Amino acid sequence: MAATLKFDHALPALSGEWTGGDSNFVSHASITAAVDRKLEPLGPHFLAHARRKRHSRTFSEDDRIQASKKVKNVEEEDAGEISEPEDPSMLTRDPKDWKNQDHYAVLGLSKYRFRATDEQIKKAHRRKVLKHHPDKKAASSSGAQQDDSFFKCIQKAMEILSDPVKRRQYDSVDDNADVDPPSKKAKGSFYKLWAPVFAAEGRFSKKQPVPTLGNEKSAREQVDEFYNFFYNFDSWRTFEYLDEDVPDDNENRDQKRHVERKNNAARKKRKNEDIARLRELVDKGLSLDPRIKVFKEQEKERRNAKKNAREAEEKRLAEEAAKKAEEDAKRKIEEEAASKASREAGKKAKEAAKQAVKKNRRVLKASVKDNNYLVVGDATPAAIDGALNDVELIQSKVDPDELAELVAKLNVSKGPEAVKAVYVGQAEALAAKGVVKKEDFRVLFA
């Protein structure tokens, strides 16, 4: 409930040595009037005030006590984090069989194991020592003799786990930290079932961080990277922890060397067996990974798409080639037909020209015969022979076109003189060309 408090407090009196005329004094503002405010007993500061009043403590005493309580609470919380029930059978262990003991369980760190920090190991050891120290047990049992076997187990566990090299050797063979792969009948998400398995195996990798298994949304590159990492796994496991103890006897050196060789051979064998085991484990995980099936289907679809595209392209090219071949064949047939037609037309034209030449030659001979062999009066045999000779000479020297022109001129010429004049004109044209000489003619220029 809110309450109103009134404080009657007078300002302190001024020093007798102070005078208002002090030259160093500067008044910046006047003192404000008092204000009544309501105060409520709430908050941590009020509780601290009430606690101090209740226990009659000063500020420093109360702070010291509160700090001690806070430290104690933190220690209790830390102890609770690394505490676990002790197995009664573990308390009766033989300390000489220390290689087969679970050092993490001895210190109460079973759930942490290789993940336990150095600070947690120290705290766990301190707590176990306080609980199982022989002196403490002797005091609690009125001086009776107590078995300190478990205390020796505690000390051995601390010796192993506090030494980085020895702890690494022990972690190398700590089967209790392994996670067995799920059985075929196990139900649940593949990723939730197998992620702890690969995480447990990844603790032995020289390369850190180890890729995670991912989920159904992981890209193929991430999945390939994950499995490639475990197929090329570089393990630091060396299995020295399981070595047979080498006799510390300088006189029996042969036995010592024999044991060392035996230990080296055993390490290599265990190393090879572990590599084979991990490879089999990765093969099993890969075969059950649903993403691999999806990737295979996608790859199959891509291959089919490429195959279909390739077949379609091949079909298109084949159709184009067939069409082109058909067009070429058709064009060749057309060209052959045209060539044949051209040859036939040429042949016909040549035959027609030949026939025309024959006809024109007959016309020339007939023109000579019909016009009394180009003479006036009776034609003597010599005149007939000379006229026919001159006409044949002209026929042999003119081309078909000139022959046709000559025939055309003869068709319009009437009478021996007119016909002879046509022949004379043609003979003169041939002589002008240098084809014949006038002396070669018997009648035309007689």
Domain map of the chain by residue range?
Answer: 79-175, 178-288, 352-440
Q: What is the pLDDT of residue 77?
A: 53
Dist CA 65 CA 62 (whole Å): 5
Q: Please state which of the ranges 124-133, 172-181, 290-299, 345-354 shows the lowest mean pLDDT.
A: 345-354
Q: What is the CATH number of domain 352-440?
A: 1.10.8.840
Q: What is the pLDDT of residue 324?
A: 92
Cα of 437 vs its chain's centroid, Å:
99
Dist CA 391 CA 368 (whole Å): 8
pLDDT reading at 37 higher than 80: no
The token duo for 340 is 């044949």
233-246 mean pLDDT: 90
Q: How many residues does the chain have?
A: 446
pLDDT reading at 1 higher than 60: no
Q: Please state which of the ranges 256-270, 303-317, 418-432 shows the lowest mean pLDDT.
A: 418-432
141: helix, strand or coil: coil
Q: What is the pLDDT of residue 352?
A: 81
Q: What is the pLDDT of residue 143?
A: 44
The C-alpha R_g of the chain, in whole angstroms, comes to 65
Domain 79-175 in this protein, CATH class: mainly alpha
Q: What is the pLDDT of residue 256?
A: 85
Higher pLDDT, 55 or 11: 55
pLDDT reading at 296 higher than 60: yes
Q: How would residue 410 be classed by pLDDT, with cut points 50, 70 and 90?
A: confident
pLDDT by residue (tens digit) across 22-33? 566 666 777 788
Other C-beta atoms lying within 10 Å of the C-beta of residue 390: 25
pLDDT by residue (tens digit) across 110-167? 999 999 999 999 999 999 988 888 877 665 554 444 568 899 999 999 999 999 999 9
Higher pLDDT, 179 or 368: 179
Nearest one of 354, 362, 366, 368 to 422, comparing CA atoms: 368
pTM as predicted: 0.54
- HSE-up of 47 (CA within 13 Å, CB side)? 4
Mark 392-426 as b/e (b = at least 16 C-beta within 10 Å): ebbeebbeeeebbebbebbeebeebeebbebbbeb
Q: What is the pLDDT of residue 13?
A: 65
Q: Please state which of the ranges 108-117, 245-254, 281-290, 302-311 shows the lowest mean pLDDT.
A: 245-254
User: What is the rounded average pLDDT for all residues in the chain?
Assistant: 84
Percent of the chain exceeding pLDDT 90 equals 41
Q: What is the pLDDT of residue 144?
A: 42
8-14 mean pLDDT: 62
pLDDT by residue (tens digit) across 370-390? 777 777 777 788 877 887 887
Q: List, in order, residues 6 or more apart from 242 with CB less than 8 Å away.
A: 99, 173, 266, 270
162-177 mean pLDDT: 93
pLDDT by residue (tens digit) across 325-344? 999 999 999 998 888 888 88
Angle subtended by helix axes 253-288 and 190-202, to nearest 10: 160
Other C-beta atoms lying within 10 Å of the C-beta of residue 374: 27
Q: How would residue 235 be classed by pLDDT, with cut points 50, 70 and 90?
A: very high
Most confident range (mean pLDDT) of 8-12, 139-143, 234-238, 353-357 is 234-238
